[in-house]
Amino acid sequence: MFNTKKTVKTIAISTFSATFLLGAAQTWAAGEHGGGHGAKSPIGTAGKAASATRTININMLDNLYEPKEISVKEGETIRFIVKNSGELVHEFNIGTSAMHTAHQKEMEMMVDHGALEPDKINHAKMKMDMGGGKTMMHNDPNSILLEPGKTGELIWKFSNPSKIEFACNIPGHYEAGMMGKFH
């Protein structure tokens, strides 16, 4: 008999590694990961804790979120408490489908440069100069990146929530179904 949990982790890490090896041959334009995609966007802005109307707990498991759907109102500010209960690094990122596609390229660059490993974040390499003083700090207000077992907070004020989703943009995770909808 085999250990299901160990087998799932092995498959996830193998998929993660294979995706990175395929992506390593590609060169992406070096843009600052903390370039603010989300700071001043049509999807909303960074919220203030004092303005939050409610708190929603997000549980990230390996390639899925709990809950899978979230109802929000235009103009509402929500405090998200995000916990990574999986065995891999995961992200909770608020954006449009197009924003996630662009962000996935940045995440591939983080992997290619060793800033992201399947189960840990190399914070020193995230500070690495990618050219022109740009780094991979992953400090956008619409996103949080967490190692296994870690918890963090994100506060977001929504505008036009019907056009956005939340997703993990680590290579292979979005494609495996790690995304959810706002209504």
Q: Where are the domains of the chain?
A: 4-182
Residue 46's pLDDT band (cuts 50, 70, 90):
very high
Domain 4-182 CATH (choose: 3.40.50.11030, 3.20.20.140, 2.40.30.270, 2.60.40.420) = 2.60.40.420
Residue 138's pLDDT band (cuts 50, 70, 90):
confident
pLDDT digits (tens, 9 = 90+) for 106-115: 899 889 889 9
Q: What is the pTM of this model?
A: 0.77
What is d(CA 15, CA 83) in angstroms, rounded to the nearest whole number?
A: 22
| Averaged pLDDT for residues 83-94 | 97
User: How far does CA 134 lie from the centroid of its chain?
Assistant: 19
Residue 160's pLDDT band (cuts 50, 70, 90):
confident
> Among residues of the chain, what percentage have pLDDT more than 90?
60
DSSP 98: H
- What integer pLDDT is reported at residue 40 of this predicted model? 52
Helical segments of 34-171, H only: 97-112, 123-126
| Averaged pLDDT for residues 120-149 | 85
Which distant-in-sequence residues (6+ apart) come within 8 Å of 147 by Cβ? 84, 89, 119, 120, 121
For residue 82, give the nearest of 39, 38, 41, 143 by alpha carbon: 143
- Of 30-44, 121-135, 138-152, the range with the lowest mean pLDDT is 30-44
Q: Angle, nearest 10°, between helix axes 97-112 and 4-24?
A: 90
| Residue 121: strand pairing partners | 116
Instruction: Share the mean pLDDT of the chain.
Output: 81
| Averaged pLDDT for residues 20-47 | 49
